[in-house]
Amino acid sequence: LMQIYRPLNFIGFVYREIRQGLTDIEEMFKLLDQNPEIEDKPDARPIAISGPVVRFENVFFHYDPDRPILKGIDFEVPAGKTVAVVGPSGAGKSTISRLLYRFYDVTGGRITIDGQDVRDVTQTSLRAAIGMVPQDTVLFNDTIAYNIGYGRPGASEEEIREAARMAQVGPFIESLPKGYETEVGERGLKLSGGEKQRVAIARTILKSPAILILDEATSALDTKTERDIQSALDTVAANRTTVVIAHRLSTVVNADEILVLRDGQIAERGRHEDLLTLGGLYAQMWSRQREASEAEEQLRRAAEDD
């Protein structure tokens, strides 16, 4: 029997290695796709972080020289604080998160973390220090446990469950017949946008990065999902230096500073109440959003009554 078992076991091993390899290659291609020409300097050092202060200093950026996207962006996220970036679609909000993660290099000015220019440190150490919860998380074709555990290789089952619980996705996973062993991704169970985002948050909670970038999904969420996601985000952002690309009022009201981006520049900045008092672009955006969400809520109630 051992004669059969050994080769089978070996095939299983090879299969797992290949599967692991494939998902990593997929991940790598995703990165390559976004940053073909970003390279470490020959003398790049690993980033050293004691107080994770993020600074954008007079940052300019374009994807295409004919079309400037960011035109002199200046801001600081003190260690442990949260800065929210809001503004019209196409204003360059997500670009800010891509530059911090160094998918692209700035074309003018600089970005520093704890005083170190992101271009002077190794990309591996930079990305290990930053947790990114993107708008649309792509899950690996593997189990939910794998997808969460990816945040910290070697994490125990208990740690994975704890992260899922903190990300407000634990009860959902436990309600599935196969629980944490449920296969997800293209060939497995399809998760909703809100569920996927909470899996990504659980992964980030496990990774426990010094710096966090949250890119909120624009898609409409029902009130309960929004509340769950908000509470998951509050957990992961607590005492972490956080940049949030925000689309929802619930995220920005508590931010330490809000930047209103328009045409690649910061048009308004301050805390929620100050910006409302200012009565400018921010005040307009939020009164419009409030109307839209109230209308949605009425529609939902009407549908429930039917």
Q: Are 202 and 163 in contact (CB under 8 A)?
A: yes
193 touches 136 (CB < 8 A): yes
CA separation for the pair 98, 61 (Å, rounded): 11
Strand-pair category, 108-113 with 211-215: unpaired
Work out how close the CB of 64 gets to ligand ATP at its nearest, in angstroms, rounded to a whole number: 6
* Closest to 255 (Cα-Cα) out of 292, 224, 286: 286
CB of 95 to ligand ATP, least distance (A): 3
Nearer to ligand ATP, 66 or 304 (CB): 66
Helix and strand counts by DSSP (H, E) for the chain: 11, 10
**Residue 156 CA neighbour count, 13 Å, CB half:** 3
The tokens for 219 are 């898609």
Q: Cβ(194)–Cβ(233) under 8 Å?
A: no
Smaller CB separation from ligand ATP, 7 or 90: 90
**Least CB distance to ligand ATP at residue 276 (A):** 21
| CB of 238 vs ligand ATP, minimal distance in Å | 25
User: What's the angle, vertex CA 165, arms to CA 164 and CA 171, rounded to 5?
Assistant: 95
Tell me the C-alpha to C-alpha distance, in Å, between residue 274 and each of 77, 131, 168, 287: 18, 30, 32, 15
* CB nearer to ligand ATP: pick between 92 and 185: 92
Dihedral sign, Cα of residue 249, residue 251, residue 252, residue 253: positive
Minimum distance of ligand ATP from residue 282's CB (angstroms): 15
Minimal distance, residue 67 CB to ligand ATP, in Å: 7
Would you say 96 or 205 has its CB closer to ligand ATP? 96
Residue with smaller CB distance to ligand ATP, 92 or 194: 92
Closest CB to ligand ATP among residues 192, 219: 219
Q: What's the chain's Rg over C-alpha atoms? A: 21
DSSP state for residue 217 in the 8-state scheme: -
Interface residue list for ligand ATP (CB under 6 A)? 63-64, 69, 87, 89-95
Buried b (16+ CB within 10 A) or exposed e, 68-103: bbbbebebebebbbbbbbbbeeebbbebbbbbbbbb
Considering the complex, state which of residue 135 and residue 235 has its C-beta at the smaller distance from ligand ATP.
135
Query: Least Å distance between CB 212 and ligand ATP?
Result: 17
**Lookup result for tokens 């004669």:** 3
Q: How far is the CB of 97 from ligand ATP (least distance, A)?
A: 8
By beta-carbon proximity to ligand ATP, the closer residue of 95 and 197 is 95
